[in-house]
Amino acid sequence: MKSNKEFCIPFIGLKLGTHEFHYEISDAFFEDIEYSIIQQGKVHVRLVLDKKETMFIGEFSLNGVISTYCDRCNDLMDFPVKGNYKIIYKFGTEPSEDETLIVLDPDAYEIELKETIYELLTVSLPAKMTHEVGKCNPEMLELLKKYIVTPSNSEDDDDHDDWSDDEDDEDDEPLDLSRFKINF
């Protein structure tokens, strides 16, 4: 990901206390990101950065619309994003496993926000992105129906039992694993 000075905050000259920053995210923001799942967007980002003696507390507010590919038909779709996130920046040399903590090098003099903003946008998206019912590309849906393999339309039905008629299911009760010995 290329660095963009527009999304850098030099904190050396900032006084202790809160500082407010605003960013307008447009399509150009996503063009520099390799393999981005977001193709386009128009998002307003508000950052309230509280500078303390040994750390910074950033409160991000995102509000806008992004475009990404539908997981069902692969056409572009618009999705509204809105959220509030808190990120803590502190100085150190050990990496953090906490997703809300970013460790800055002791020699750092600025906070780079582009990667953080992109990550916050991607976590604002649901796990499965699909159009509303009836909005997907009908040609792609027809291709999916034609080529998807299910037990009812596979050519070698004789090789597979009908899973819905399995006599061992016993009313689909959960499998009791306590009767199995597992060696690790």
* pLDDT, tens digit, 9 for 90 and up, residues 90-109: 999 888 889 899 999 989 99
Local confidence band at 183 (pLDDT 50, 70, 90 cut-offs): low
Give me the pLDDT at residue 6, please.
87
Which of 1-5, 45-49, 172-176 shows the lowest per-residue confidence on average (mean pLDDT)? 1-5
Q: What percent of the chain has pLDDT over 90?
A: 48
Does residue 19 or residue 72 have the better pLDDT?
A: 19
Per-domain boundaries in the chain: 5-123
Local confidence band at 13 (pLDDT 50, 70, 90 cut-offs): confident
Give me the pLDDT at residue 152, please.
56
C-alpha 154/C-alpha 88 separation (Å) is 53
Local confidence band at 18 (pLDDT 50, 70, 90 cut-offs): very high
Amino acid at 131: H
Give me the pLDDT at residue 184, please.
41
Give me the pLDDT at residue 154, please.
47
Region at 154 (left for phi over 0; alpha for psi -120 to 50; beta for the rest): beta
Give me the pLDDT at residue 24, please.
96
Contacts of 115 (CB under 8 A, 6+ apart): 1
Give me the pLDDT at residue 174, please.
64
Average pLDDT, the chain: 83
C-alpha 62/C-alpha 121 separation (Å) is 8
Give me the pLDDT at residue 180, please.
54
Q: What is the pLDDT of residues 121-176, one digit of tens each?
A: 999 988 888 888 888 988 988 888 888 776 654 455 455 444 444 455 555 666 56
